[in-house]
Structure 1
Amino acid sequence: MKVSVIFLIVSLFSPLLEANPGIKVKITQKALDYGKQFGIELLKQRLKKMTSEDWNGQDTYGFIGLNYKVAKIRIDNAEFPNTSLSLISGTGIKLLVKDASATASADWSVKTWLFTHSGTGTVFISGVSVTAVIKVSQSVSGHLKLLLESCEGEVGEIDIKLNQAYRWLYKYFTTFLVQPLNISLGSNLCPKLDSEIQRINEEFSQYPVQAQIDPFAIVDYSLVNSSAIFESSIDLDLKGTVYPVEKITEPPFKPTPFVLLDENNSMFYIGVSEYFFRSASLAYYTSGAFDSSAEQEERLSSYFKLTTETLNKIIPSIAHLYGEPLPVIMEITITTVPVISLHSDKSTLEFTSSMEVLAMLPNSTTQSMFTLNITAGTHANLTIFDQKLITTLCLDSFHISLVHSNVGFFEASLLDNFLSYVLQTGIIPAANAKLKDGVLLPFLDTMILMKPNVRIYQGFLLISTDVIYKAYDNQEDLDLQANTDIFFLP
């Protein structure tokens, strides 16, 4: 049956050697219940669109030999009143289906040496049950893999009604057809389930475990430990490392162990460690994402309308070197990897940069006036939008020192107000513009996060969220989504 909805949630992951994770994901029973319910509705729609293979056979009734054919078998309606998905500690997922029923239509024909007749009929199937245990493991290729560990299925009763014009054929036709149909349907329940699981595994293999964030960085969401199955959740340990696009090399630091809170009110809990952000900072620094291009420098300088006359009001010695006002360019370089820290209810980022201030001469060459060292401290606001974790920096403090000067010595503190303005209105907004695309969270693009909440703890942040599965093929699917959302929203 269509149990793949919840399994698809974890299709991005693959196993590596045992290690501390950078990201932890917990899938709760609430998520399984949602996946089960929505999966049943999708299954009903799918069954209505399916046409089974034709049946051909021979039999005898008394002294009469019969050749029969049942064709165009189609499901008109199916009900699954008692279905559950539950977790078995250390193993996987238990699927239990009880009292399922279906109504099917079919064309039939019977040929004997006495007569040939054909018509339509209705098949009523009831008392269908399936009990299966699906093991969660990993494939050789490194993707999540589901295995049908055990399965039992049976069909209770089958009743066949022929169209009224041929009611007299009922005993001839249905007596020998009911039993083989019952046996065939019952014996095919588990193979059909196994076939569906293999199809899900095939879908798993199509999802990459690495995703490119932007031109500078790639995030690795591969599974570093075997999935932990508990009675109330499936716990996944993801690598959670960000690499520079140009060269994937491991960071010179390792993840620190952390433990998710014992909560199960939301469908998903994602713990993102400080290590993840540190690897992201290193990746962007290595990729040169923090470097300013000449075009950006000119645009920033133009934005502030800087000239040597502007700086002369702060540093009088400049007036002795440049009689006429000249345009000024600021070259800003991040000199060390920005340091990101997560504390209770607060995330901070500190960076050190070098700012060289140059005068643009009439012949279009530049002349260095002075170089400053800037150490700035910011706090980060973290929000989730469109399945991405968005970081926005806000300036808290900064310290400047004079590194080199060609315009004579001056107290760097004279530039405090000027640099504060430049940082808050130019550099920090430019950094936020680069961060606006965010980091894609480990969900499929068919999932919509509902009311995600972000909390920050010592060493990691915790995202809790419910989801809606979107699979819109037509208006009927949209109506289905609207109906199921009302039931499952917290």
Structure 2
Amino acid sequence: MLKTWYFVLLCWLSLQLEANPGLKVRITQKGLDYGRRIGMELVKQAVLKETFPSWSGQESLSVVKVNYVISRLRINAVDFPETSASFIPGTGICLSVARASATISADWRMNAWLLKGKGEITVSISGLFISIIFNVSRDSTGHLSTLLHNCQLSIGSVKVKLSGRSSWIYSFLSGYLEKPIHTKLDKNLCLNIKYKIQMMDAQLKKHKVLSQIDTFAQVDYSLLSSPAVFKSHINLDLKGTVYPVGNHTDPPFMPAPFALPNQGDSMIYLGVSNYFLKSASLAYYRAGAFNITISEELATTFSLNTSLLKYFVSETSLSQAAACPVLLNLMATLPPAVSLNADRCVLQITGSVEVFAALPNSTTQYIFTGNLTASTTANLTITKQKLIISLLLKRFQFSLLHSNLGFPEQKSVVENFLSYALRRVVIPVINDKLGKGFPLLNLAHTSLTGPAIKMNQGHLVISTDVHYQPVDREDEDLHSHS
């Protein structure tokens, strides 16, 4: 009965020791309450589909022994009118259900001296109270672990109604079945909850903490330590390191400490450190993602040709009078430098560039080579649980190493041409690669609602609510209930 929504919220987390986290996640009381509400609806659906084994017993009616078998037990209705969820500091989460009720039906068979019978049985349970506390921690393998800490249970009443031919006898016998059914529930409900939590824990151990971003990089979302549980929220510190695919060498720099704001207006707060972005920059650099070739096809698409070059340089030594596509080979010579400030994110790219003309005879003619430094600002948005980064060129510097233009001293006009090429062609190509985004949360059938990004010195904070959408869109809208 603990397959609640916020378990799904935690199942993508695991562990690896590190000094400071690259990412922080906070789930507030508002998020827990939403998870409890969605979770109880999911529990209702699961309970109504649950199957139960047959069971048998014996009761004494004065000097008569009555043997009975209960089979095909099924839950027809269940109601949780009062539910609550709270954080238990230093321990985990408490779930409580009060005044719950259920209607159960089954087939029965009875055998006693001079009396045999069979029929249907209806069991009405009311006044059910249950309180569950479970720990959230990390296990020795580095995955999130859940463990039942305490389970308290009380049942107000159990009413049994037997149906069959000799109804007056079965009405008399019904009262004798209420006690064993009550005892059976007392004995097995908490055991069943413990089993469900163990199943959830086993699933968490199978969860992969490396999330594939694209063909270039993966991000490690493993937990650095056990979740820190406070009265108003739970904090999770994640490693938050981005690696090239297949190369999990840690970056040569460490994450700096940072803190999430003391707020609870949103369900979830996600802190993204400068370390996370720097490790992403290094990973993409190591994977060669910043090495870009502007092919003849791209140059033609964006009208990048020698006539445009002649617009910036009045006289050239190009041998062709007709306009030819201009090809660019760009190679990053250092990992792009990333810095988060209070109002913006800056990415500085350092590299080299070779420029050629694609001639009509399928050969190329060398034009010039140089070193470049481009300073860009990053526009950050969130789409479909992903952080999308889009670059905008702000400043550009170029040093000419060699040229066939005949005017090596006219560096500024060459810079103008390259600035145009970067803005119109190169930056859009980079943004297309970055457009796949960095996965933030991996919540099935869930979307982020009203996410907001706040820049800080050295880190940014994303605050958001979430919206759960049932698999079957014809299901009742869970958000119409409070």
**TM category, shorter:** over 0.9
Instruction: Provide the secondary structure at the position in 2 that maps to 1:117.
Output: strand
Which of 319, 322, 337 aligns to 2:319? It is: 322
Distance 1:72 1:250, change over 3 A: same
1:71 maps to 2:67: no
1:394 is matched with which residue?
Answer: 392
* Equivalent pairs, count: 480
2:149 is matched with which residue?
Answer: 149
Q: Give the aligned residue type for 1:479.
A: D
1:27 is matched with which residue?
Answer: 27
CA shift, 1:156, in A, is 2.1
2:416 is matched with which residue?
Answer: 417
2:475 is matched with which residue?
Answer: 479
2:383 is matched with which residue?
Answer: 385
Percent of aligned pairs with the same amino acid: 44
Q: Give the aligned residue type for 2:141.
A: S
2:468 is matched with which residue?
Answer: 469
Q: Give the aligned residue type for 2:475.
A: D
2:403 is matched with which residue?
Answer: 405
Quote the Cα distance in structure 2 between the aligned partners of 1:104 and 1:303.
Answer: 69
Q: Give the aligned residue type for 1:373.
A: N
Distance 1:307 1:420, change over 3 A: closer
Q: Give the aligned residue type for 2:182.
A: N
Deviations 1:253-276 (A, max 9, x none): 111111000011111100001111
RMSD across aligned positions (CA): 2.1
Quote the Cα distance in structure 2 between the aligned partners of 1:277 and 1:152.
Answer: 46
1:348–1:380 CA contact under 8 A, matched in 2 = yes
User: Structure 1 length normalisation: TM-score?
Assistant: 0.92
2:226 is matched with which residue?
Answer: 226
CA shift, 1:300, in A, is 3.3
Quote the Cα distance in structure 1 between the aligned partners of 2:9 and 2:66.
Answer: 50
Distance 1:259 1:399, change over 3 A: same
1:437 is matched with which residue?
Answer: 436
Deviations 1:425-444 (A, max 9, x none): 11111111111110111332
CA shift, 1:314, in A, is 3.7
Distance 1:486 1:461, change over 3 A: farther
Quote the Cα distance in structure 2 between the aligned partners of 1:44 and 1:360.
Answer: 67
For residues 218-297 of structure 1, the aligned pairs below 5 Å read: 218-293=218-293, 296-297=294-295
User: Structure 2 length normalisation: TM-score?
Assistant: 0.93
Distance 1:203 1:348, change over 3 A: same
Instruction: Provide the secondary structure at the position in 2 that maps to 1:52.
Output: coil
Deviations 1:329-365 (A, max 9, x none): 2222222211111111211111123222224467644
1:33–1:84 CA contact under 8 A, matched in 2 = yes
Instruction: Provide the secondary structure at the position in 2 that maps to 1:95.
Output: strand
Instruction: Provide the secondary structure at the position in 2 that maps to 1:479.
Output: coil
Instruction: Provide the secondary structure at the position in 1 that maps to 2:442.
Output: coil
2:4–2:38 CA contact under 8 A, matched in 1 = no
Quote the Cα distance in structure 2 between the aligned partners of 1:122 and 1:268.
Answer: 44
1:41 maps to 2:41: yes
Q: Give the aligned residue type for 2:331.
A: T
2:136–2:226 CA contact under 8 A, matched in 1 = no
Instruction: Provide the secondary structure at the position in 1 that maps to 2:39.
Output: helix
Distance 1:201 1:446, change over 3 A: farther
Distance 1:306 1:41, change over 3 A: closer
Gaps of 5+ in 1: none
Quote the Cα distance in structure 1 between the aligned partners of 2:308 and 2:251.
Answer: 43
Instruction: Provide the secondary structure at the position in 1 that maps to 2:14.
Output: coil
2:52 is matched with which residue?
Answer: 52
Which of 288, 296, 300 aligns to 1:298? It is: 296
CA shift, 1:108, in A, is 1.9
Q: Give the aligned residue type for 1:423.
A: L
1:375 is matched with which residue?
Answer: 373
Q: Give the aligned residue type for 1:146.
A: T
Distance 1:63 1:344, change over 3 A: same
1:349–1:379 CA contact under 8 A, matched in 2 = yes
